[in-house]
């Protein structure tokens, strides 16, 4: 079995590649990744010399280059992770999100039809549903109501895929996971930021009063769920992939501080993000009932493993933090130049 994994040098994508090559000895993986700031070949370092892994640096909007890869590698199925995924960045500039998440997905869909792929698995997000109040959960048949340019671009990709399923009989499945955390997560995301700043005894910024609620899934469990859906899921279906473990943002911060014995005085409440969704919660009964999937890690265990990984790989975190600082400085200078 030969899989094309788009975004395979990203956080969840690279963890998925690691999961497949570790647990499915008869699988071959072709990774396509643009290697933007959030992509890193170091995530694939254990497999660089493994003949079952091939890597191509390519933008998924580059139709001709991808077409050549499809022809050369005789791709069987696609697991599509590649996406711009940071909400704050989408608020600053939505253009890359439209290009990659919508246009890039369309290119892949067209090539999937042309090359008769067996299965197209699209990794979406729970954010396409919008937000919930204190009660209820999102089921797969609920309407989409995205709040940010990021989630709007992902919702658009979902709808595009549904249209290809209906119109072209594309053998596709959509997966909507909740918030992931774990090894190799880029240090601009919520949990890695908390860990890094706590270790450094720096102030930890928390939007509003930290009352927003998220459902958290350890990345290894997410990868296992994706594989189960790929191998056993029904074509044309949508599957929520959640843990059932919800936490207020402030609770996540306090849990991490307690785990590494740091004071709560490091918490600093900051102005809330525009359009900040209050709560996400997935109804995952469908994947549990049809495929028998359940996560293996409870939140406290997953957080301990994540903290340990960040401590052991602190050098990588430090390098990425420095890169982010330089990147944001460039963005800020460009914005000032435009205004002037």
Which residues participate in catalysis according to the annotation? 126-127, 150
Q: Measuring CA to CA, which residue among 264, 134, 243 is closest to residue 180?
A: 243
Cβ-contact 81, 34 below 8 angstroms: no
Q: Is the dihedral of CA 122, 123, 127, 129 positive or negative?
A: positive
Q: Is the dihedral of CA 162, 58, 191, 333 positive or negative?
A: negative
How many C-beta neighbours within 10 Å does residue 140 have? 17
Provide Rg for the chain, Cα atoms. Answer: 19
Cβ-contact 244, 277 below 8 angstroms: no
Task: Work out whether strand 213-218 and strand 246-248 pair parallel, antiparallel, or are unpaired.
Answer: antiparallel
Residues 6+ apart with CB under 8 A from 135: none
As a whole number of angstroms, the distance between CA 70 and CA 86 comes to: 29
Residue 27 φ then ψ, to 5°:
-95, 145
């Amino acid at each position: 079995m030969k899989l094309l994994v788009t975004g395979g040098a990203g956080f969840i994508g690279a963890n998925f590649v690691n999961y497949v090559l570790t647990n499915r000895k008869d699988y071959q993986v072709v990774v396509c990744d643009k290697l933007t700031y959030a992509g890193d070949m170091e995530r694939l370092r254990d497999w660089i010399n493994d003949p079952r892994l091939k890597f191509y640096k390519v933008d998924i909007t580059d139709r001709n280059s991808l077409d050549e890869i499809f022809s050369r590698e005789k791709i069987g199925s696609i697991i599509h992770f590649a996406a711009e995924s940071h909400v704050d960045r989408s608020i600053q500039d939505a253009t890359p999100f439209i290009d990659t998440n919508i246009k890039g997905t369309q290119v892949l869909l067209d090539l999937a039809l042309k090359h008769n792929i067996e299965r197209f698995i699209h990794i979406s997000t729970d954010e396409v549903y919008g937000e919930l109040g204190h009660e209820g959960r999102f089921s797969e048949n609920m309407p989409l109501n995205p709040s940010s340019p990021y989630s709007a671009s992902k919702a658009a990709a979902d709808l595009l895929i549904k249209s290809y399923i209906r119109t072209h009989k594309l053998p596709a499945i959509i997966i909507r996971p909740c918030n992931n955390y774990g090894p190799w997560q880029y240090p601009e995301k919520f949990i890695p930021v908390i860990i890094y700043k706590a270790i450094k005894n720096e102030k930890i910024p928390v939007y509003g009063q930290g009352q927003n609620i998220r459902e958290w899934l350890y990345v290894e469990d997410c990868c296992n769920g994706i594989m189960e859906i790929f191998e056993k899921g029904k074509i044309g279906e949508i599957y929520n992939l959640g843990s059932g473990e919800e936490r207020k943002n402030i609770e996540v911060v306090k849990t991490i501080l307690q785990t590494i014995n740091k004071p709560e005085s490091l918490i600093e409440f900051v102005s809330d993000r525009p359009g900040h969704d209050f709560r996400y919660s997935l109804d995952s009964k469908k994947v549990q009932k049809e495929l028998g999937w359940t996560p293996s890690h409870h939140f406290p265990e997953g957080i301990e493993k994540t903290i340990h990984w960040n401590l052991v790989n602190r050098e990588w975190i430090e390098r990425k933090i420095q890169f982010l600082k330089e990147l944001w400085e460039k963005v800020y200078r460009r914005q000032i130049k435009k205004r002037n």
